[in-house]
Chain A
Amino acid sequence: MLTTSLIALPLAGALAVFLLPASKEWVGSLALAVALAELGLWITGFFGKRQFDFGSAKIQFEQKHAWISDLGISYHVGLFTFSFWLVGLTTVVMAAAIAYGLWAGRERANAYYALMLFLTGAVVCVFSAQDLILFYVAFEAMMIPLYLLIGVWGGERRVAATFKFVAYTMAGSLLMLVTIIVYGLSHGFDLTTATTSSSVWLFLGFAIAFTVKAPLFPLHGWLPDAYREAPPEVAAVLSGLISKVAAFGFLRIVFTKFPDLGAGTPLHDLRALFLALSATGLIYGSLLAFRAPDFRGVVAYSSLAQMSLIGLGLFSGGELALSGSVLQMVNHGLISTALFLLAGAIESRTSTGVLKRLGGMARGRPILASLLVAIGVISLAVPGSSAFAGEFMILAGTFQRGWGWALAGLVAIVLAAMYMLRLISAVLHREPGEAVPEHTPDLRPAELCIVGALLAGMLAISVWPAGIAKHSFACLTETQTVSTTQPSTPVQIGLECVSATQPLFGSSATSAGVNP
């Protein structure tokens, strides 16, 4: 029931918010209350009689209801351990985004908040869908509010940006729809019972759709414009949340339904291709972030790089890399949300994000400065930070797949330091830029609360990254080995895998890797 409640609450909230005849403050407050209630609802998953069991590999809070019986399609939702974390990320990010919207005083409040809440429900539905068509429904349902949120409340060039965004992602989506239908008719639409396939075409259909959505190099053509033109909180949701949907798709669909069973299976044959694309995207995104002329450009391309890193982890496979990917998904979700919200805070003060015109904002604005530095430093994966734990696990896992891929990741770590520090110094230090008025205020308490809460989340994960990393996959297949001599062992994620988990490394080793 919890899953359905998590989906239904924001949708019902959206309707209520849309119909509430009140000033934008009241409407926004109601929306925020719903978003916080959603967060609270998620937290109840930790407690109570029906507590989420992190040790279980089985699907939990499951619910199934026939929908299109003719094709064997049903409303089937439920949560695996890793999906539980992603749902949590959704509630946090959306609450932050809505709070920011409230603070920024978005006009046309009824529509705005209704769309935001609708989006929340759709994303939760994606993360909990256990039926391919339901997954697709939620996947596309996200596009509806996003299209309007960018197109109506976005920046100057929003119309072109939304068009590019929608056309690009819908091309990927429809490819996926075809794939789902072709796949579903022969293997079943229900993810928990669908049989595996070894068709290269079906694999590519899913993989390309998710590659567009993430986005991964080279299918990221929509990214820079969409991230620049969206309102900051929507850009935050895009990069913090929507990109994770694609990663989730890889985890839940691509890897479980197209397992690597040696030569002749697509995951085995094409793994190198996707690793290469991820590695390229990682370096490429980092380099472009380094020369991007504006705040959001840096964060946008760094997001491309981070998603490539996660892609690297996903396609490497293995417990270490996959757990690291989930951890990094949550990390990056929080980090990029916070960064985009800060970008919004800065833009609202200076009405520009162009780095050349910014500068010197640290002086007299200690809260802004310390938050930006803290989040920036976490994002460049300083040891001890949550992002470090995630990146380390991903790259350690990637290394076992092939040292060259990890090498790309290591180069990118250096580049990340370069672009993130460039960003920090361009905004905070140097002489005050021409766009920075002398008495530009520091962050307001509201902004501090929103970004500070996100930062607190990052710090909490930094303290205990194993909380997520070790509780993402209750059980991967036991045959998974570390050795490169057997790189092609199947990865079964959380499914049908009931026997006790056999930790890959001594528990001390993993914690050494995570908490050095």
Chain B
Amino acid sequence: MAAAKKAFVMNAIGDAAMALALFLLIQHTGTLEFQAVFSKAASLGPNTWVINLVAAGLLVGAIAKSAQIPLHTWLPDAMEGPTPVSALIHAATMVTAGVYLIVRTHPLFEQAPHVQQTVAGIGAVTLLATGAIALVQTDIKRVIAYSTMSQIGYMFLAAGIGAYSAAMFHLVTHAFFKALLFLGAGVVIHALDGEQDMRKMGGLRRRMPRTFVAMLIGAGALAGLPPLAGFFSKDAILATAFSEGVYGKVLFSAGLAGVLLTALYSFRLIFLVFSGEESELVRECLSKHKGGEGPRWMTAPVAVLALLAFAGGWLEVAGLWHPFSRFLEGIAPAAIVVSSTPAREWLLSGVSVIVALGGLWIAWMIYSARSQPAPRTPKALIEKLYFDRAYDLLFYRPAVLLAHRLASLFEQQVIERSVEEVGTGALRGGRVAAAIQNGLARSYVLLVAAGASLVLLLFLIFR
């Protein structure tokens, strides 16, 4: 439940920021219709504070929705409870809404170049950081969840450098292979009676060969190995980044490092789960379930997804055909489809494939062949780079403290006491007023005389 809370609060932050952007738009353009906003936004002029603020607001909304740094901590936590299917909906589909938002509203971002660069920067940072965290996760679903964030980082990176169709392309292929991975993981978890800890798995490839193949395709696509889906889309992003000046080169290198990380953690998952000796748990569970891979209604969608993850990338091949980009032309004009020469494109692809294979090799060395000892995992990664703790210290605790202080010092001392004080004050006055009645007729007469003298005096003065 804490996870759901976090998800809601982070999304609420995003909503709030986005609402701010929308308010600004209403104020300055008088409408929220996409086309009308875009046409009027142009008249606001580029890089004005209004447009920057609008773009920033939309960005924060997108960040929260897509679980990008720094509003990312809710997603992996949200993976703990639910079934793989809901995890899939949550982590593979819904979270990409942020990317869609940025792409859909790109005319606004283009008016705010600094914000757009920030989009790319956030994407790069996220893909590296979450990729690194994914490396040390032991929960199979969490690994996939972190990989989702990392892959959305690529999409942000793409959107931030204006490669909208590339971002959307990656979004689509990512949906294929991420769904495949989630459902495959689901099959595994189902077979192992709900166990999600990868350290307790191993050697499943013999028992679950079809699932193994499907997961292998998924991991390969994720790592960007040709000719699987992920290769084409990731390639388009990296190529565009490379052609974007100095900042683009930085982003490109981050993306390339990300490729290494991706290959590492995805094949770490494969090797931990499927290769090696069968673990005790695997033996115990699979001897119980004779079938191994579960009923057909579970495996059939996995098979379909495996096919899509395998071939989905052929929708668009750099330099050859671009049906996808053309499809998107309406909303995301292919400003920069590919500006580089096919030769450089091929070279860059080669580099990224080599890096990916390198990652695969390292993963094989450590987790399958076990020829290298697993490196000691840095504490920072286990603590997920301290984001949770920082939020706790910076926001949550001060808010709680403030609430308590307000309650004890202001609400009770001022607001509530004031009512009581007025009441006791009136009572005190009442006692004084009632004290006039001392029961003695002579003092009553005296009072009448005094009152009469007072009225008389008043009249004589004012007559």
Contact = CB atoms under 8 A, between A and B. Distances in A.
A320 B32 CA distance: 14
Contacts of A505: 26, 30-31
A511 to B, nearest CB: 9
Nearest to B11: A417
Contacts of B414: 218
Interface string A74-116: 0000000000000000000000000000000000000000000
A225 to B, nearest CB: 8
Given A395-B23, A410-B16, A410-B20, A417 B30 contact: no
B461 interface: no
A421 B5 contact: yes
A169 B383 CA distance: 53
Given A168-B419, A505-B31, A506-B31, A410 B399 contact: no
B12 interface: yes
Contact of B33 (A383, A415, A508): A508
A456 interface: no
Given A221-B415, A221-B416, A410-B16, A509 B26 contact: yes
B5 A410 contact: no
What interface size band does chain B fall in? Answer: 35 or more
B394 to A, nearest CB: 14
B44 interface: no
A178 B13 CA distance: 45
Contacts of B2: 425
A396 B16 contact: no
Interface residues of A, number: 52
A513 B32 contact: yes
A288 B9 contact: no
Nearest to A413: B16
Nearest to A383: B15
A307 to B, nearest CB: 15
B4 interface: yes
Given A291-B407, A392-B19, A508 B1 contact: no
A11 B36 CA distance: 53
A429 B16 CA distance: 27
Nearest to B414: A218
Which of A167, A421, A425, A430 has the most chain B CB atoms closer than 10 A to its own CB? A421
Contacts of B402: 287
B407 A288 contact: yes
B428 to A, nearest CB: 16
A406 B9 contact: no
Contact of B19 (A164, A224, A410): A410
B418 interface: yes
A322 interface: no
A512 interface: yes
A411 interface: yes
Contact of A287 (B8, B399, B423): B399
B400 interface: yes
B24 interface: yes
Interface in A380-430: 380, 382-383, 392, 395-396, 399-400, 403, 406-407, 410-411, 413-418, 421-422, 424-425, 428-430
B17 A410 contact: yes
A292 B27 CA distance: 37
Which of B2, B17, B26, B32 has the most chain A CB atoms closer than 10 A to its own CB? B26
Contact of B26 (A218, A400, A418): A400
Contacts of A512: 31-33
B406 interface: yes
Contact of B16 (A414, A421, A516): A414
Contacts of B19: 392, 395-396, 410, 413
B32 A509 contact: yes
A122 to B, nearest CB: 25
A311 to B, nearest CB: 17
A236 B33 CA distance: 39
Contacts of A422: 5
Interface in B56-110: none
B8 A380 contact: yes
A258 interface: no
A417 B24 CA distance: 23
Interface string B385-412: 0000000000000011011101100010
Interface of B: 1-2, 4-5, 8-9, 11-13, 15-17, 19-20, 22-24, 26-27, 30-33, 36, 399-400, 402-404, 406-407, 411, 414-416, 418-419, 423
Interface of A: 163-164, 167-168, 218, 220-222, 224, 284, 287-288, 290-292, 320, 380, 382-383, 392, 395-396, 399-400, 403, 406-407, 410-411, 413-418, 421-422, 424-425, 428-430, 482-484, 505-506, 508-509, 512-513, 516
21 contacts: A167-B423, A222-B419, A224-B411, A287-B399, A287-B406, A288-B411, A382-B8, A395-B19, A399-B24, A406-B23, A414-B16, A417-B11, A418-B5, A418-B399, A421-B5, A422-B5, A425-B2, A505-B31, A506-B31, A512-B31, A512-B33
Identify the 3 closest CB pairs spanning chains A and B, nearest first. A399-B23, A410-B16, A417-B12
